[in-house]
Chains A and B, each alone.
Chain A
């Protein structure tokens, strides 16, 4: 089988992979879902990886970037060696931060293609995980991730021209439609559109997410109502395309409510 635009995976291959999730199978094995630059999403078995004496133990935890040697299997590949490159320890030291990291992993799992090279998406995820603990507002890198995840998977939100009549939208008179994929001018009212208002400030931040660098976005400290508006727009878009609520986002919300009460 030839991979779309990429090198064919040999019987044995090496890759850098970000572990997204793991599940136990058999007596002491793990099935891990790993996101790689070269091959997209890969599912592989870590034989005996649940034993504390296994050479793989600790190297296949979720949210761990590792250099891996894999053997091609019939259904699932097999992890023959793994060595941690970045364990994202500061993300895992805090429950809210860990849940945000898992949100990144859950979206990669949901949107990431299998058997298809995805170097840009891989770099995006790793970079976002790296800046997350030190960001001025940890929600900002998540919005950056959502925005560029949509862009890289072909669902870039249109922010400049009305998605219906294609005219350039005037400042402060726009609305946003998740299912039509971008902004709408005041004159267009397509029947099928799910429309929500979009403040001018939110629009500006969305354009910064589009044009700005991750470093610029990570320095942003947004006021709570603007932060909530952006979350509602972008997490809403992600949820729409994914077709379900993300579990980690629901858990993050639960933590927020727990802290508030």
Chain B
């Protein structure tokens, strides 16, 4: 997949372009631009980039509890004794944890599924960290599971699948509210969201 217009006499550059081209959202032209940018960087900056890539791969592990990507297991959240240990919030991706942590309003624990059930794309429950979630839920100390998968069809499918798999009647199962986004408008809101927003209306 070496880009045609790179001279074969420059194999190390061709290789870098090829590797960059594999990244999501990077086409062959962007890959070439980035490669030439890296070549022109001062040595220490280029080596720092390479070192950062190596270090992140070397030091990243899955947290044995929440399955989030972290530098240690348990991760910072799971190891923090100030967190409320009776609530688990289940999310699709590590980036969702970051988004929720930015709110500083949730103090419970997380569980990262690393994906979402998508029958049409052939992604089933076995490809997610669902078994690990069910194992955690066997602990009677956990009293609430907040399902915070995205409000998309796949997110809903995953939420419904989790609901079916729960073997405990005493566990409170909740789903993040769905409704109008801040800054949105009724006029452009789809009917499903409007129905949900109406159902979830709150006293002023």
Contact = CB atoms under 8 A, between A and B. Distances in A.
B190 A251 contact: no
A61 B152 CA distance: 7
Interface stretch (B8-16, B48-56, B180-188): B180-188
B59 interface: no
B interface majority secondary structure: helix
Contacts of A102: 119-120
B122 interface: yes
B105 interface: no
Given A53-B181, A53-B184, A258-B164, A98 B120 contact: no
B124 to A, nearest CB: 6
B124 A254 contact: yes
A251 B153 contact: no
A217 interface: no
A95 interface: yes
**How many residues of B sit at the interface, in one of the four size bands?**
20 to 34
Interface in A59-73: 59, 61-64
B94 to A, nearest CB: 16
Contact of A87 (B124, B157, B184, B192): B192
B189 interface: yes
A94 B157 CA distance: 8
B143 interface: no
Interface in B120-146: 120-122, 124-125
Contacts of B195: 89
Interface in A94-119: 94-95, 98-99, 102, 105-106, 109
B156 interface: yes
For A25, A57, A94, A254, the residue with the greatest tally of chain B CB atoms inside 10 Å of its CB is A57
Interface of B: 25, 117, 119-122, 124-125, 152-153, 156-157, 160-161, 164-165, 181, 183-184, 188-193, 195
Given A61-B192, A98-B160, 6 more contacts: A20-B120, A57-B181, A89-B192, A98-B157, A252-B119, A254-B125
